[in-house]
Every structure is written in C-alpha cells, then in structure tokens.
Amino acid sequence: MKIVLYLAIGLMMNVAALGRGRSDTLLLNLEQAIKAAPEYDGRKQADINQLKNQIASRRDIDLVDRFKMIRGLYNEYKTFNYDSAYLYAKQMQEISYQMHDSVYISDSRIGLAFIMVSAGLFKDAFDSLKTINVGRLPDSLKASFYALLGRSYYDLADFDNDKYYTPLYYGKGNAYLDSALNYFPSASFDYAYFDGLRNLKTRQLTKAQGIFETLLERPNLSFHQMALAESTLSGIYEAQGRKDDQIRLLLMAAIDDIRSSTK
C-alpha cells in the first residue's frame, strides 16, 4: 500500500504541473480507491479462505485434485502476497513429485519461476526453467513457459540498463515472445498483450499503441488485465512525449491495481 500512496503523491504533483482536466477526476477516483482498498482486500481474502476451507473439508482428495486446488490458491496469491504464493508454489512442486508426472512438475516449476522473477531473482528463475522439457508440455504451458522467459529477459534488460547486455536481453526476450505467440489462442488477452509488448520492445510504438488501445476496448476484462494494459500503454505514451495521456493511463492502472488487490 505504501507504493500506491507514493505513486498517488507523484501523480498529484504531475497533475498539478499539467493543469486541471480529466486527470483531476481520475485522481479523486484514485483517492476513493485507496480508501476502499481494505474492502477490496477483504473480498480477496474471503475468496482465499473459501478455497482453503474447500481443501480442508476434502479428506479423500486425490493428488490431481489437490494439485489443482493448491494451484488455485497460488493463482490467488501470486499478485497479492509473495510469501504465500511462494509457499503454495513449493507445495505444488511437492505434490507433482509425488505424482511422478512431468507435466505437473513443469507446471509447478513455471509457477515458482514466475514468483522468482517478480522478486527479481532472475538466476533462480532461469535455473528452474532450464530443467523443463518444453517439448512434452501442452500448448497452454508452452505459451506460459515462453512468455515467462520473454518477460524475464525484458525485466533483466531493464534492470541492467547498459549498452551491451540490454540489447542482448531484449533480443532474447523478443525471440521467446515470438515462440509464445505460436501457442496463445489468437483471440485471447494474453496473445494481444504479449504481441503489444513485443512491438513496444522493438520500438514499433504506433503498432503497439494500436494493439493496447484496441485491447482496452474489449468488454469483460478483469481489473488486473486492465491495469496491465493501461500501465504498458502509459509507457508508450511516455515514449511519444504524450505526458497528459501517460499520467491519465497511470492513474487508471493504479486504480485497477487497487481494485484487483495487486500488490
């Protein structure tokens, strides 16, 4: 929550510098969202508690069903609480080893690597992903595997931010996203998002802008999906020198992050 408050202060300063307009209304909406954050988090925790109660009540649960239910908890936690997400990713791994099933083992390793990348533990994430035999995975996991590698190299490139390694890592990230797009359904949110991200990283800003603006017109996006698209589109507007639009999209993303209890 401190990060959101710092973001709000920074956005207030930028809105004041740019003058009044639509951003003022969004800033009020952000203030209201911050006040309502405990309510959003309470709903999230209620969903988590329901899943936990379901697991506790299933005494005869087999390993496959237990894996799926633990994975449900992992999915709830992975953008909500790092420590809990890591715990359930490890539990997924333990169950998959008991099953002696390479697909479930790979699924758990991808989940664990996602948490590691989110924490900036790039080496640990790459070490986990290197053990996966991608050829044996179903298309859905191949898509997740390649997309995570692409995102990992993009994040690593931004972290290093130098003249040699950054272009090298961007190149690897582009290649992995090319592979991921072969496996995501073409009409899915993930396909559009990663296609737009790839165009952003290759500096095809106009094309990336069109993809994200079209994506945000879709009905029934989750708050988390909207925040992802809005924050990425704000980066495109920043690169184009469109400061007002950049701040407007950042405000929208901050609001949707709070609504989705993304920490």
What letter would DSSP give residue 137? Answer: S
Q: What is the rounded (10 degree) CA torsion for 105, 224, 254, 193?
A: 90
Q: What is the mean pLDDT of residues 188-215?
A: 97
Which amino acid, residue 31? E
Q: In angstroms, how far is CA 59 from the centroid of its own chain?
A: 33
pLDDT band for position 24 (cuts 50, 70, 90): confident
pLDDT computed for residue 14 by the predictor = 53
pLDDT tens digits along 63-98: 999 999 999 999 999 999 999 999 999 999 999 999
CA atoms of 241 and 100, how far apart (whole Å): 53
Closest by Cα among 262, 228, 255 to 31: 255
pLDDT tens digits along 33-53: 999 999 999 999 999 999 999
pTM (2 d.p.): 0.88
Q: What is the mean pLDDT of the chain?
A: 92
Judge whether residue 6 has pLDDT over 60.
no
Judge whether residue 17 has pLDDT over 50.
no
Judge whether residue 3 has pLDDT over 70.
no
CA atoms of 108 and 102, how far apart (whole Å): 10
pLDDT tens digits along 121-179: 999 999 999 999 999 999 999 999 999 999 999 999 999 989 999 999 999 999 999 99
pLDDT computed for residue 18 by the predictor = 45
Q: Check: CB of residue 229 under 8 Å from CB of residue 249.
A: no
Judge whether residue 12 has pLDDT over 70.
no
